[in-house]
Amino acid sequence: MTENNETEYQSPVPMPALDAKAPEIYRQFYGMPMFALSPTADLEASRDFWLEGLGFADIFTIPGAVTHLRRWAFQDLLLVPGEQPDEAPAVSVNFACVPDQIEEIRDRCEKLVPGCTEGPREMPWNSVELTVVTPEKTRVVMTAARPIDPESDLADELRESGFQIPKP
């Protein structure tokens, strides 16, 4: 077994920063380490909402069977035919984004389905989150990490726990 070396892996998620830039949609095929599956009674309407509102891309569609959607690498969702609940979300998933995408995503989703968003709101785990309920009742939380102030108590606590947080 090899030792975990932080220089060997480059995450598709940018480091937390207020001016972080979102990576492009990753369109290559890979073995998906995780994906969400969301049943929907209307594949086309759900697909359109995910594309136009949430900023996903259609990786491939088999009409009437499945639509494979993706944003960044490892942010995959499969829409499949199925019944959806009347009220409670069928699925709840969180996707990383950068801070300047939150308002844009909220505005696009609200334009498509008024009242479908909640937030954004600052969370105690150092992120800003927007909750969106899609047409097929999937609860999507778009999460933008906030940078850690190197002079904060949180930074000191993380340093004490062994995390590499630069000192001011």
User: What is the domain-level CATH number for residue 116?
Assistant: 3.10.180.10
Domain presence at residue 107: yes
Domain presence at residue 1: no
Pairing of strands 57-62, 127-133: unpaired
Question: Which structural domain range is residue 123 located in?
Answer: 15-160
pLDDT digits (tens, 9 = 90+) for 2-34: 555 556 667 888 888 889 999 999 888 787 777
Domain presence at residue 167: no
125 has a pLDDT exceeding 90: no
Domain presence at residue 166: no
pLDDT digits (tens, 9 = 90+) for 32-82: 777 888 889 999 999 999 999 999 999 999 888 999 999 999 999 999 898
Domain presence at residue 165: no
Domain presence at residue 21: yes
Number of domains in the chain: 1
Domain presence at residue 3: no
Report yes or no: 37 and 78 within 8 Å, Cβ to Cβ: yes
| Rounded Cα gap, residues 168 and 162, in angstroms | 17
Domain presence at residue 122: yes
